[in-house]
Amino acid sequence: MKLICTCGLFLFILLSGNLFCLAQGGGEKIIVIKAARMFDGKSERTVSPGVVVVSGGKIQATGASAAIPAGAEVIDLGDATLLPGFMDAHTHLSGESSDDWKQDELDGLKKSAAEQALDATVHARKTLMIGFTTVRDVGSGDFVDVGLRNAIRNGKVMGPRMLVAVRGIGATGGHCDPTVGYRPDVFDRASGIEAAVANGADAVRAAVRRNLKDGADIIKVCATGGVLSLNDDVRSPQLTQAELDALVDEAHSRGRKTAAHAHGAEGAKRAIRAGIDSIEHGSFLDDEALDLMKMKGTFLVATLMATEGIRERLDKGAYFPPLVEAKARQAIASIRVMFRKAVAKRVRIAFGTDAAVYPHGRNAEEFRHMVELGMRPIDALKAATSVNAELFGISDRLGTLEPGKLADIIAVPGDPTQDIRQVERVFFVMKEGVMQKNERK
């Protein structure tokens, strides 16, 4: 009897010890990533050496003082810089551009939703492999963005985590009206293609609610005309103050962030007054609009790569309809001046590129343009990490290399605060503790 009790006590202690180890995360693999330096996403400089301890998909410790647990897998990346995974606030992963505007238009009309979705998986993987572990997708069709987001979330497709808009909301005949520029009988009205069109404050509220019902994480609105759309003035305001007030109020009351496509100053100012979270593009913003953004804390997502992609196509002699070409040249000439002013006025600048207007996989080139136009390299890096995390509303779990955050970690050669173009050479990518890429094995 005594022997049985003793054995039972021993078994209890053994099991208790195992349970304690499991409770302490003893069953989780521990990975330690080391490099010559680290940028944590929020500081004014890099620190050396760079050390990040990862377990269970989260960051456990960082910095030179971080203890390296016994038995941990150590990945030493050498003369490199560790950074939080980059974020792009303005992408269209289901879209694709070529040097032929007519072909782009035909592809949009000819490709089925299934083909667009398959293309989007390629774009998503490419985006992840260059270090962008989170993106906002601000306009798609046929729910391709929703499906892609869900497939990535469920581990079926490789790609960045996505916050999606489902569709942009705008006025009849405006930039978010997908039928603008075509004869009325081209599109099947029964397909729901006009769900993005809303006129009047009540209709705008209804459009926000429909987007949320359909799976939107964010609400995108077209407050002005666009560069690549037919039959509208790029500078013109396209929604009233009451309509924009209703949109922002409805979205914010449902806990969603808002983004306004806005090139022209007047339409942008209406959106800013309404409380919009970010202005996308902003090509023709005047001093009053920028000052209002500074006062209200509105983010600017300038998408400099969009105008760069269009400029490259124009330089190659690519065809654009005369109206579109004229609008594009105006935007290219104006946006650089606007961006310099925004930097000087200390407007809050987030990182976004308009991927699809230029070829996917070049997102990191935005950094170079931001720095060339006056941003400090460290601020450009913050724009794509901690600043975007705040804009996205996810700074509680992403955007910085800190204990408790999800382990989205990338590495670039050398020091990007000294040479910003090093960000175009990402060779290590980890997303939520899972290594996606390591070219320095």
Q: Residue 147 domain-assigned?
A: yes
Average pLDDT over every residue of 65-80: 92
| 100 and 73 share one domain | no
Tokens 């810089």 sit on residue? 81
Which has the closest alpha carbon to 424: 373, 365, 384? Answer: 365
| 68 and 91 share one domain | no
Q: How high is the pLDDT of residue 248?
A: 98
Domain boundary among 363, 390, 422: 363
Q: Residue 15 domain-assigned?
A: no
C-beta neighbour count of 127 within 10 angstroms: 25
Above 90 in pLDDT, residue 11?
no
Alpha-helical runs (H) found in 265-403: 265-274, 287-296, 304-315, 322-344, 365-372, 377-383, 386-392
Average pLDDT over every residue of 359-381: 98
| 63 and 118 share one domain | no
What residue numbers bound the domain in which 219 lies?
Answer: 86-363
Q: Residue 374 domain-assigned?
A: no
Q: Residue 393 domain-assigned?
A: no
Ranking 137-141, 192-196, 242-246 by mean pLDDT, the lowest is 192-196
- Whichever domain contains 246, its CATH number is 3.20.20.140
Above 90 in pLDDT, residue 318?
no
Cα separations (Å) of 326 from 180, 261, 281, 323? 18, 19, 17, 5
Q: Residue 18 domain-assigned?
A: no
| 42 and 137 share one domain | no
Domain boundary among 308, 341, 363: 363
Ranking 5-9, 248-252, 379-383, 424-428 by mean pLDDT, the lowest is 5-9
Q: What are the tens digits of pLDDT across the range 254-305?
A: 999 999 999 999 999 999 999 999 999 999 999 999 999 999 999 999 999 9
Contact partners, residue 228, CB within 8 Å, separation at least 6: 310, 324, 328, 357
How does the average pLDDT of the chain come out, rounded? 89
| 64 and 97 share one domain | no
Q: Residue 143 domain-assigned?
A: yes
| 58 and 177 share one domain | no
Q: How high is the pLDDT of residue 166?
A: 94
Q: How high is the pLDDT of residue 113?
A: 84
Q: How high is the pLDDT of residue 104?
A: 63
Q: What are the tens digits of pLDDT across the range 128-156?
A: 999 999 999 998 888 999 999 999 999 99
Alpha-helical runs (H) found in 24-154: 101-110, 113-129, 144-153
Q: How high is the pLDDT of residue 183?
A: 64
Q: Residue 375 domain-assigned?
A: no
Domain boundary among 346, 363, 380: 363
Cα separations (Å) of 424 from 89, 130, 220, 413? 18, 7, 28, 10
Residue 308 structure tokens? 């760069």
Q: How high is the pLDDT of residue 213?
A: 95
| 147 and 39 share one domain | no
Above 90 in pLDDT, residue 98?
no
Above 90 in pLDDT, residue 441?
no
| E strand segments, 1-79 | 30-35, 37-38, 50-55, 58-62, 73-76
- Whichever domain contains 64, its CATH number is 2.30.40.10
Q: What are the tens digits of pLDDT across the range 335-353?
A: 999 999 999 999 999 999 9
Q: What are the tens digits of pLDDT across the range 213-232?
A: 999 999 999 999 888 877 77
Q: How far apart are CA 147 and CA 122, in angstroms?
A: 14
Number of domains in the chain: 2
| 39 and 108 share one domain | no
| 40 and 102 share one domain | no
Average pLDDT over every residue of 110-123: 88
Q: Which residue has the higher pLDDT, 184 or 69?
A: 69
Q: How high is the pLDDT of residue 227?
A: 87
Average pLDDT over every residue of 343-365: 97
Average pLDDT over every residue of 167-175: 85
C-beta neighbour count of 68 within 10 angstroms: 13
Residue 55 structure tokens? 């377990």
Q: How far apart are CA 273 and CA 354, in angstroms?
A: 24
Q: Residue 392 domain-assigned?
A: no
Q: How high is the pLDDT of residue 174?
A: 75
| 354 and 308 share one domain | yes
Which percentage of the chain shows pLDDT scores above 70? Answer: 87
Q: How high is the pLDDT of residue 154?
A: 96
Above 80 in pLDDT, residue 328?
yes
| 201 and 258 share one domain | yes
Asked if 133 contacts 201 with a C-beta cutoff of 8 angstroms, the reply is: no
| 142 and 191 share one domain | yes
